[in-house]
Structure 1
Amino acid sequence: MPFSLFGADKIPFDSIHNLEKNIPNIIVWAVPVMLLFTAIEMAVTYYQERDFYEKKETIGSILVGLGNLVVSAALKLGLLYLCIWVYNLLPWRMELQWWTLVPCYIIYDFFSYWAHRVSHEQRFWWATHVVHHSSEHYNLTVSYRLSWIQHLKIIFFLPVAFMGFHPVIFFVTNQLAVLFQFWVHTEYIRRMPAWVEYIFATPSNHRVHHGSQEKYIDKNFGATFIFWDRIFGTFQPEEEPVIYGITTNIPNKANPFFINFHELTDMVNDVRNARGFRKKLFYIFGSPVKIAEEKKRLTEQELAEERMAA
């Protein structure tokens, strides 16, 4: 039979449960390994008396991670329906060929770069991502901090689905992309060989991304490949020691609900108090940095008016 990549048969929706069973649960399988390496890092940190971990933040990270697993499991079937629906629309459906993971992963990572970048540049999307940056310490548990509403960002990855990759390939690619980001959240791996640092989002490159200093903010968005940042002008090497967290760190570090939804709550309050439709849109879709500057300016103005009135 001659080789053919495109023109695969449509996937009947009544076979979706069988297809779901054929999608390997890579992340679930990896959880014990991730927990083992996390425990090792925690033990080494304790033995060396380093401050890479903080009790409340660690509890918060673990609870956020557990919640994300529950949300992901609950949404899996619905997302699979969506992928199959898109797949069946296309005349260029790809056969289930495992080597297509390679182009799918590279293309997926390209769109991941832009989804990640937009998540820092627009407050609505920042609210789906800020949970990952709210830790003031950098360790393997930070990789567990994945927002419970992050699946809204599937809209950024629909172009990958419309390229005709088989739904199994799409789901496996997503899992591998998430797992890659586990090992980069550590202080113990410093600089890697130059060619690795040039191509991949290494721990050094990703530490920069979690920095709250001005030179580090909104840099190094690449999830697996850092060359996207080099191409689009957002690359920053690790130079001075990184100060982790966000510009205004959260007070409740162990409550997973607060960690997940504090930014949404603040956004709703800002929109409610804003005057004019344009200002309300600014507080929803504006740059988080500019919004923080605006709120700081208004606070300083109010304080000045209070001092004058007194």
Structure 2
Amino acid sequence: MNKEKLTFEQIANMDLPNIILYAAPIMIGLVGLEWYLSYRQKKDFYDSKDTIAATVIGLINVGMSAGIKVITFGIILFFYNLVPWTIPMTWWSFVLCLFWLDFWRYWAHRVAHENRFWWATHVTHHNSEKYNWSVSFRLSWTQHIKIIFFIPVALAGFHPVVFFIVHQLAVLYQFWIHTEYINKLPRPIEYFFTTPSHHRVHHATNEKYLDKNYGSTFIIWDRMFGTFQPEEERPNYGLTKQVKSYNPITLNFHEWSDIVRDVRNSRSLKEAYAMVFTRPSELEAKKKEFEASYEKAKVKVNG
């Protein structure tokens, strides 16, 4: 079946809504309310400097997203036009796209925790020791390169407009799960959807919680692929090696800076490669492994 290829002009003429932009004032208002309740109830859920940093990061990210929208949307449009089939733009295509997109969001998220290069595009979201609605604003300024993980959505034949709307809804879903005020929900919801309880585990540094619960909208992927962990003990938030800074530039680029330093200090291409792509949780062990091999080689030469 041949389909008519779409052009930028056709998409532009549709006047697509920027749902996230419309929702921003509501989200900021809810952050203010949660902050106020935390203060009144003497709960240690907020840190003023941390929240200001998160808000600055979020606002700049919104601006960057708008600035490169043509590029990101163009990538999706290009791959959509490559395939000869299309999925009709009906109500059920939005539902189907949400599941297919969320499947790839799970893998993009998982890779971002299990590969240092991609971790550098995501670590900003985790370098707060607090857990509240403002944390949802902390999205890395380099995260946009993860658009490549969503190419399968376009190749499946979903209309770019469907992708555009569903992707925004999926991003918005992340807002409400970043709170300590919502406890565990009824079992059917907890079993199928990602909830605040699940995502608190994901942001925790407790050993049993590390690298768990990657699901964005649906937690079923974690149950299927063995990365699910229920919330049991109270989570501790942040990074295992915490960055003590409120500077948005530092919070966005500290891991990239560390990668560059480690590559420069590498004594072989193999080590340089490992410094970029090793699993973050295994990085220190990998460094010790290389150091031990160099010492062994030195002893052998001097032997």
CA distance in 1, matches of 2:33, 2:66: 28
List aligned pairs for 1:220-235, cutoff 5 A: 220-235=213-228
Worse-matched range after superposition: 284-293 or 90-99: 90-99
Query: C-alpha displacement at 1:94, in angstroms?
Result: 2.9
Query: C-alpha displacement at 1:294, in angstroms?
Result: 4.2
Which amino acid is the alignment partner of residue 206 of structure 1?
H
**1:190-222 Cα distance to aligned partner (Å, 9 max, x none):** 110011111111000000000101110000000
Count, aligned residues: 292
1:279 partnered with 2:274 = no
Which amino acid is the alignment partner of residue 198 of structure 2?
N
Query: C-alpha displacement at 1:298, in angstroms?
Result: 9.0
Within the candidate set 102, 105, 114, 1:109 is matched to: 102
Which amino acid is the alignment partner of residue 102 of structure 2?
D
1:165 partnered with 2:161 = no
CA distance in 1, matches of 2:288, 2:66: 40
Secondary structure of 1:182's partner? helix
Within the candidate set 97, 120, 134, 2:90 is matched to: 97
1:261 partnered with 2:253 = yes
CA distance in 2, matches of 1:226, 1:249: 27
TM-score w.r.t. structure 1 length? 0.90
Q: RMSD of aligned C-alpha atoms? A: 1.8
1:290 partnered with 2:282 = yes
1:30 partnered with 2:30 = no
List aligned pairs for 1:62-101, cutoff 5 A: 62-101=55-94
Identical-residue share of aligned pairs (%): 51
CA distance in 2, matches of 1:153, 1:184: 22
Query: C-alpha displacement at 1:292, in angstroms?
Result: 3.4
Query: C-alpha displacement at 1:89, in angstroms?
Result: 1.9
Q: 1:305 maps to what in 2?
A: none
Which amino acid is the alignment partner of residue 241 of structure 2?
T
Q: Label 1:90 to 1:266 Cα distance change in 2 as closer, same or farther (>3 A).
A: same
CA distance in 2, matches of 1:188, 1:104: 30
CA distance in 1, matches of 2:274, 2:260: 12
Q: Check whether the contact 2:183–2:197 (CA below 8 A) recurs between aligned residues.
A: yes
Unaligned runs of 5+ in 1: 1-5, 300-310
Within the candidate set 9, 12, 18, 1:17 is matched to: 12
Query: C-alpha displacement at 1:96, in angstroms?
Result: 2.9
TM-score w.r.t. structure 2 length? 0.92
Q: 1:42 maps to what in 2?
A: 35
CA distance in 2, matches of 1:18, 1:48: 49
List aligned pairs for 1:121-270, cutoff 5 A: 121-252=114-245, 254-270=246-262
CA distance in 2, matches of 1:219, 1:247: 14
Which amino acid is the alignment partner of residue 4 of structure 2?
D
